[in-house]
Amino acid sequence: MKRIKTGLIGCGKVADLHAAALASLPESQFTAVCGSTAEKGARFAAKYNVRGYGDFEKMLEESGVEAVCICTPHPRHAGPAVAAARRGVHVLVEKPLASSLADCDRMIAAARQTGVTLGAVSQRRFYAPCRRVRMSIDQGKIATPILGSVAMYGWRDEQYYASDPWRGSWSGEGGGVLVNQAPHQLDLLLWYMGPVAELSGYWANLNHPYIEVEDTAVAILRFQSGALGQIVVSNSQNPALHGRVQIHGSNGASLGVQTEGGAMFIAGMSGIAEPPYNDVWTVPGESELRAAWQKEDAEFFTRINPMEYYHRMQIQDFLTAIIENRPPLVTAEDGRRTVELFTAIYRSQRDGRPVRFPLDVA
């Protein structure tokens, strides 16, 4: 089996999930890591017996890596991604792909110019209940999707925002719940429903006075297909309730997945509280299967480390895509669509009107 020399840029909380995958996958020869300083890079590298750096340009030049995962704060994704792509190094970027459309386009352009693979992390696509929804849509079991909804009611406390200096600010994080917690559910909505035509949205900071960015956002969407959608995402419910994506079809049947239940997973700080499951399933002749699937998914959940397992699945898909010269399951263009969606919500409130797609980059 071909092994790809892999590296990691960014040694924050989510980096250990990437490093564990890169160190264990048969497709990967984990080679180097880069921290924000040489000391941080060396300290993190020692855990995995790889070379450590404090300068990503130097790492790309010296280490011989062929693919990298980028785990820096969101507004700092584009710099190392573009530098890697220009050197012919494949790039997988933690969610969201970037905090701005301009950065997304810089990364995509650099990857296209050199022909490297550029992907975005959205590991919930690999959850069995999420894939079950997509497969059923593809098989026409709900006829045409006509209504999609995201409902994410989570909680983040002051300790969370104080855990890294960049959290909770426009310059350091690029946004709030839309940019950090919601991209997984937004990606699933787009994966199921297709491209958006128009959106009206609002955001607010309802009960986190110690941060600059939003803790809550809502939107109403019209998709290019003519279907409608709604989004409600929030970090203002203590304790956290759930994160759900539900899709309703023109034949009256409905599909749904609860991707999060209870406290939301925080990389490096907490685990996944409850297994994902299909919370709604009214496909004719299949309603009775939901209980069996839920039992099966819950039992599987107990046999794995869910924090690592799904990152490992996505990173393996990405490396296999490079080897097989095919697109990964989650492409850079998919990642850009999520950024375009939350950017549209910000712009709709700013301008006080609906926003048409595609958005201008400026």
Which CATH number is 218's domain given? Answer: 3.30.360.10
Copy the structure tokens of residue 186: 């937004």
* 203 and 347 inside one domain: yes
* 55 and 182 inside one domain: no
Going 235 to 256 to 318 to 190, the CA torsion angle's sign is negative
* 343 and 228 inside one domain: yes
Distance from C-alpha of 147 to C-alpha of 193, rounded to nearest angstrom? 8
Q: How many domains does the chain have?
A: 2
Residue 229 lies in a domain: yes
* 66 and 155 inside one domain: no
* 322 and 281 inside one domain: no
* 251 and 266 inside one domain: yes
Residue 188 lies in a domain: yes
Distance from C-alpha of 285 to C-alpha of 110, rounded to nearest angstrom? 48
Q: What is the DSSP letter of 74?
A: G
Distance from C-alpha of 31 to C-alpha of 276, rounded to nearest angstrom? 33
Residue closest to 237 by CA, chosen among 256, 251, 258, 216: 216
* 242 and 112 inside one domain: no
In the sheet with 242-249, reading across from the earlier edge strand, the strands are 277-281, 254-261, 242-249, 145-153, 228-234, 216-223, 196-204, 355-356
Sequence-distant (≥ 6) Cβ neighbours of residue 304 within 8 angstroms: none
| Alpha helices in 198-324, H assignment, sequence order | 289-303, 306-324
CA atoms lying within 13 Å on the CB side of residue 208: 27
* 190 and 204 inside one domain: yes
Residue 356 lies in a domain: no
Residue 358 lies in a domain: no
Distance from C-alpha of 263 to C-alpha of 274, rounded to nearest angstrom? 8
Distance from C-alpha of 302 to C-alpha of 287, rounded to nearest angstrom? 25
* Per-residue pLDDT in tens (0 to 9) along the chain, 362 residues: 789 999 999 999 899 999 999 999 999 999 999 999 999 999 999 999 999 999 999 999 999 999 999 999 999 999 999 999 999 999 999 999 999 999 999 999 999 999 999 999 999 999 999 999 999 999 999 999 999 999 999 999 999 999 889 899 999 999 999 999 999 999 999 999 999 999 999 999 999 999 999 999 999 999 999 999 999 999 999 999 999 999 999 999 999 999 998 766 555 555 567 899 999 999 999 999 999 999 999 999 999 999 899 999 999 999 999 999 999 999 999 999 999 999 999 999 999 999 999 999 97
In this prediction, residue 271 carries a pLDDT of: 56
Residue closest to 230 by CA, chosen among 70, 94, 322, 345: 345
Residue closest to 304 by CA, chosen among 45, 21, 69: 21
* 142 and 157 inside one domain: yes
Question: Between the CA of residue 48 and those of 8, 31, 52, 74, 216, what are the distances in Å?
Answer: 11, 9, 10, 24, 38
Domain span at residue 27?
Answer: 4-123+315-330
H/E stretch holding 161 reads helix 158-162
Residue 362 lies in a domain: no
Residue closest to 4 by CA, chosen among 88, 86, 61, 80: 88
H/E stretch holding 7 reads strand 4-9
